[in-house]
Amino acid sequence: MSFKDQSLRFNFMADKGNQKYHLVVSSLSCKMHLHLLPISLLLFLFLFAVIPRVVCEDDERFVSCGEEHECGNMNMKIGYPFWGGDRPEYCGHPGFELDCEGEAPEFTMNEASYKVLDINNSTNTVTVARADYWDSNCPSRYVTTTLDTSLFSYNSTSYSDLTIYYQCIVLISIPNQFNCSNNNTICYFTILSIDLGSVSPANCDLTVEIPIFESAANAIVRGGGKVDDLREALKEGFGLLWNASNNFCKECVESGGHCGYDNSQFVCYCRDGPSSASTCRNTTTTSSPDFFLGRISLREKQ
């Protein structure tokens, strides 16, 4: 048997008795009549057909980053830019690590922890609530909400600022008032038209600002400043827009890839491996039920 490689076109000479056969392999499609080929040639073709299937298996990171993983006891599914739990770090943005051990996914930003209540990948938005205000209006530490503006921004049309005043020394009682038993002090809160009345902020030692949904703020106003409405508003949380190479990720997904990061750089994971660009090459894979080699013809050598 003689063999010559001619850029995906192969010539074979096979002797079968007193006859010689000329085999031409070209393109990547078509069926063949296997019973007409010599055994040695069939063996070679079998091995050659298997190799492309092994080589063309999808990249491991492409597969891993294409899967959504559950995070937290609420079984919330997370994808890019988030990572944590069973989702590898390379499948997310370095600044979006989640703690998946509690009831809901959590992350820390500027000394405050946040519960993730909802993720909307189509709008690049996430609904969060302050973890330290989840069960109480009186946290152990008083921290105003501030954003890492390189990662998040507010949706300016959907939130209002809630202000809570702690450790106030006054004798005036107003509806938007509550007590903190951990330090036995009086506290007040204000939102929209709910104000302090005749109470002066100077009578309070600490102030905390927390954004809430505008709909929740309106509910507090309609209820006259009840503490129960305050607690409900804090649990509903507020919305954030994330910034995690959004445009690059959109281009990557539209080209058939999955987004991630490597060495602090955005990476588009493609079927054939990571791409240095934000898109994957436009590749297609075809196969036939007989062989992956394509058109194969067998004719008698003249």
Query: Can you give the pLDDT at residue 15?
Result: 45
Query: Can you give the pLDDT at residue 197?
Result: 86
Q: Which helix (H) or strand (E) is 236 found in, with range?
A: helix 227-236
Which residues are within 8 A (CB) of 82 and not within 5 positions of it... i.e. 6 or more apart? 71, 92, 93, 96, 97, 98, 105, 116, 119
Grouped pLDDT means (10 residues each) for the chain, 302 residues: 42 44 42 54 53 63 93 91 96 97 95 96 95 94 96 87 93 88 87 89 94 96 94 96 96 96 95 91 47 34 42
Number of H helices, E strands in the chain: 5, 18
Q: Is the pTM of this model over 0.85?
A: no
Query: Can you give the pLDDT at residue 75?
Result: 83
Neighbours of 191 (CB within 10 A): 25
Question: Could you write out the three-class secondary structure of 21-81?
Answer: EEEEEECCCCCCCHHHCCHHHHHHHHHHHHHHHHHCCCCHHHHHHCCCEEECCCCEEECCC
Q: Which helix (H) or strand (E) is 270 found in, with range?
A: strand 265-270
CB–CB of 262/269 below 8 Å?
no
Give CA 288 to chain center in angstroms: 35
The two structure tokens encoding residue 204 = 């309070």
